[in-house]
């Protein structure tokens, strides 16, 4: 399913989905295909996202595209 279809089905809502196909440009991952799991109530969106694993995401349909900033860990520091 495409993101545009999800936006039409669930306007202005949080939805939970699995990423099926994506590509990376610079440090941003763009989702092309997804498998919709369902809508999420706003008060449960953060909890659902934190409990999600691997390629499962919660995202708001007010966004034109699903794009994710890729963060890399450079190193850890510890204060003594």
pLDDT digits (tens, 9 = 90+) for 9-54: 999 999 999 999 999 999 999 999 999 999 999 999 999 999 988 8
Q: Domain coordinates of the chain in residue numbers?
A: 3-69
Residue identified by tokens 């809502």 is 13
Q: HEC profile for 11-74?
A: CCCEEEEEEEEEEEECCEEEEEEEEEEEEECHHHHHHHHHHCCCCEEEEECCCCCCEEECCCCC
Residue 26 tokens read as 């610079």
User: What residues are paired with 15 via a beta bridge?
Assistant: 39, 59
Torsional sign, CA 15, 68, 46, 51: positive
The structure's pTM equals: 0.82
């Amino acid at each position: 399913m495409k993101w545009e279809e999800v936006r039409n089905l669930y306007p202005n809502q949080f939805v939970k989905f699995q990423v099926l196909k994506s590509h990376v440009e610079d440090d941003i991952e763009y989702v092309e295909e997804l498998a919709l799991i369902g809508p999420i109530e706003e008060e449960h969106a953060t909890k659902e996202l934190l409990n999600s694993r691997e390629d499962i995401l919660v995202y708001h349909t007010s966004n034109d595209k699903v794009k994710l900033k890729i963060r890399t860990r450079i190193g850890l520091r510890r204060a003594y």
